[in-house]
Structure 1
Amino acid sequence: MVNLTRIYTRTGDAGRTRLSDLSETTKTDPRVEAYGHVDEANSILGIVTTRDDLPEEIRAVLRHVQNELFDCGADLSNPLNENPPYEPLRIIPSNIERLEGWCDEFGDPLPALRSFILPGGSQTASFLHLARSVVRRAERAAWAAVEAYGTEPASGVRPGGVNLLAVGYLNRLSDLLFILARVVGQTAGDVLWVPGKDRNVTEPRAKKQRERITGDAG
Structure 2
Amino acid sequence: MGFRLSKIYTRTGDAGETGLGDGRRVPKDHPRVEAIGEVDTLNSQLGLLLAALAEQSHNYPGLRQISDVLEPCQHRLFDLGGELAMPVYQALNGAEVERLESAIDTWNEELGPLENFILPGGSALIAQAHVCRSLARSAERRCQQLNAIEPLAGVGLAYINRLSDLLFVAARLIAKRQGIDEILWQAAAKPEA
Q: TM-score, normalised by structure 2?
A: 0.88
Letter in 1 for 2:167: L
Which residue of structure 2 aligns with residue 102 of structure 1?
103
Distance apart, 1:112 and its partner CA: 1.8
Residues 1:30 and 1:164: Cα distance change in structure 2 (over 3 Å): farther
| Contact 1:143–1:167 (Cα < 8 Å) also in 2 | yes
Letter in 1 for 2:175: G
Distance apart, 1:111 and its partner CA: 2.9
Distance apart, 1:199 and its partner CA: 3.3
- The 2-side partners of 1:56 and 1:11 are apart by 43
Which residue of structure 2 aligns with residue 191 of structure 1?
183
1:106-125 → structure 2 map (5 Å cutoff): 106-125=107-126
Local SS of the residue matching 1:50: helix
Q: Which runs of 5+ in 1 are unaligned?
A: 81-87, 152-161, 203-218
1:8-19 → structure 2 map (5 Å cutoff): 8-19=9-20
- The 2-side partners of 1:124 and 1:193 are apart by 19
Letter in 2 for 1:53: Q
Which residue of structure 1 aligns with residue 140 of structure 2?
139
1:190-209 → structure 2 map (5 Å cutoff): 190-196=182-188, 198-199=189-190
Residues 1:13 and 1:101: Cα distance change in structure 2 (over 3 Å): same
Letter in 1 for 2:183: V
Q: Does 1:179 align with 2:173?
A: no
Q: Which runs of 5+ in 2 are unaligned?
A: 58-62
Tell me the number of residue pairs that the alignment of Structure 1 and Structure 2 aligns: 183
Aligned identity (percent) is 39
Query: Residue by residue, what CA displacement relative to the aligned partner does 1:167-215 show, whole Å, maximum 9, x if unpaired?
Result: 111100000000001101122111111222x33689xxxxxxxxxxxxx
What's the RMSD between the two structures over aligned residues? 1.7
Larger radius of gyration: 1
Q: Does 1:90 align with 2:91?
A: yes
Q: TM-score, normalised by structure 1?
A: 0.79
Which structure features the higher share of helix residues? 2
Local SS of the residue matching 1:31: helix
Letter in 2 for 1:15: G
1:36-75 → structure 2 map (5 Å cutoff): 36-51=37-52, 52-54=55-57, 55-75=63-83
